[in-house]
Structure 1
Amino acid sequence: MSELPNGISEDGPSPFARRVLDIIDRIPAGRVMTYGLIATIVDAHPRQVGQVMTHWADETHWHRVVYANGTPATCHGNNALVLLRGEGTPMRDGRVDLVHALWNG
């Protein structure tokens, strides 16, 4: 498998990307993690987590990863907010209420 920068691979998720995706797969419905929290767990930068998400989001529950201020991702036609609400994720003013919804893995 030929690995490109930031854990992206031409042949499928690299070991780094797989670690990120595995963490996201474990986030329960109605809960979220931030890019920064995932980055801390995998010893990376939040932007590296974002790059994995850009390439492999369809492989996981992408909508359960939010920015540090609780703002959902705006990709996929801004559907994250709808999906999060559908799962009963605590929200406040269009953002995830991190006090009640943050999952630490």
Structure 2
Amino acid sequence: MSELLTGISDEGPSSFARRVLDVVDRIPAGRVMTYGLIAASLDGHPRQVGRVMTRWADETHWHRVVYADGTPATCHDNNAVALLCDEGTPMRDGRVDLGRALWNG
């Protein structure tokens, strides 16, 4: 699989992965973006963004990236909900209230 698709290279994040991480770094506390919205802003696919986040999540505020229905990521011992709540992110029934928290960059 190519570096472009995986976001992984021997020397650190690929250029696509770096762009994903840069977008995530700009998401303000209390706000979120979806995998799909990030992908669309970079001319990519949500699964590409997911692969980047899987590999490089520790480099950024991974918990601010959610699924299209507002469901937080379940990695990192399911800490996303607690981190989002600590930042004051609007939640409803365990999901982010995208109507109030979605950030479009």
Measured against the shorter chain, the TM-score band is: over 0.9
Q: Deviations over 1:55-82 (max 9, x none)?
A: 0000000000000000000000000000
- SS, match of residue 13 in structure 2: coil
Q: Which amino acid aligns with 1:30?
A: G
Residues 1:77 and 2:77 aligned together: yes
User: 1:7, 1:44 → 2: CA distance?
Assistant: 11
Gapped runs of 5+ residues in structure 1?
A: none
Q: Which amino acid aligns with 1:88?
A: G
Equivalent residue pairs, number:
104
Q: Which amino acid aligns with 1:69?
A: D
Residue 85 of structure 1 and its aligned partner are, at CA, apart by 0.1
- SS, match of residue 29 in structure 1: coil
Q: Which amino acid aligns with 1:24?
A: V
Q: Percent of counterpart pairs with the same letter?
A: 80
Gapped runs of 5+ residues in structure 2?
A: none
Name the TM-score, length of structure 2 as normaliser. 0.95
User: 2:5, 2:26 → 1: CA distance?
Assistant: 25
- SS, match of residue 68 in structure 1: coil
User: 1:83, 1:99 → 2: CA distance?
Assistant: 19
Q: Deviations over 1:14-57 (max 9, x none)?
A: 11000000000000000000000000011111000000000000
Q: Contact 2:5–2:48 at 8 Å: present in 1 too?
A: no
Who is 1:41 aligned against? Answer: 41
Name the TM-score, length of structure 1 as normaliser. 0.95
- SS, match of residue 104 in structure 2: coil
Q: Aligned-pair RMSD on alpha carbons?
A: 1.3
Residue 9 of structure 1 and its aligned partner are, at CA, apart by 1.2
Q: Which amino acid aligns with 1:97?
A: D
Residue 7 of structure 1 and its aligned partner are, at CA, apart by 2.2
Q: Deviations over 1:1-22 (max 9, x none)?
A: x946422112101110000000
Q: Which amino acid aligns with 1:23?
A: V
